[in-house]
Structure 1
Amino acid sequence: MTVVVQWTGWEAAQLGRALRLSIREYARQLGVNQSTVQKWRKRGRGIELRGETAEILDAMLRRCDDEELATFRAALASDGQLSLDDAGLGIALGPLRVISHKFVPVYIGEAVQALFETAKGCPVGPGGLKHRAVPADHPEASPESQLYLYACGVAIFHLIQPLKVSSLGELAAWRYQSYVTDLDWATSELQRLLTTEDSASEAAATYVLSAYLLEDSPWEGQHLETALQVLTTPSVVVDREHPAGARRLGDEVERALFVEGYTQPDTVDFGMQAVSLGLASWSGVTYHPLALERALPMDAIVALELDVQTLWALSTYVLDEVEAARDPVMPDEAYGWRWLRGAYSRLTAARPQETAQHQLMREAVLATSQLPDRLHAAQEALRESSL
Structure 2
Amino acid sequence: MTESTTDRAQGQRARGSRGPSLGDVAAHAGVSTQTVSRVANGLTNVEATTRARVLASMQALGYRPNRAARALRSGRFRNLGVVMFTLSSYGNMRTLDAIAGSAATAGYSITVVPVERPTQQDVSVAFTRLLEQAVDGIIIVIEAHIVDRADVELPAGLSVVVIDSTERPDYPQVDTDQAQGARIATEHLLALGHETVWHISGPDDSYSAARREQAWRETLEAAGAPVPEVLHGDWSTSAGYEHGRRIASRPEITAVFAANDQMALGVLRALHEAGRRVPEDVSVVGFDDMAESDSFWPPLTTVHQEFEATGRRAVELLIAEIEGRPEPVTSTVLPTRLVVRGSTAAPPAR
**Normalising by structure 1, what TM-score?**
0.22
Larger radius of gyration: 2
Bigger RCO of structures 1 and 2 (CA < 8 A, at least 6 apart): 1
**Normalising by structure 2, what TM-score?**
0.24
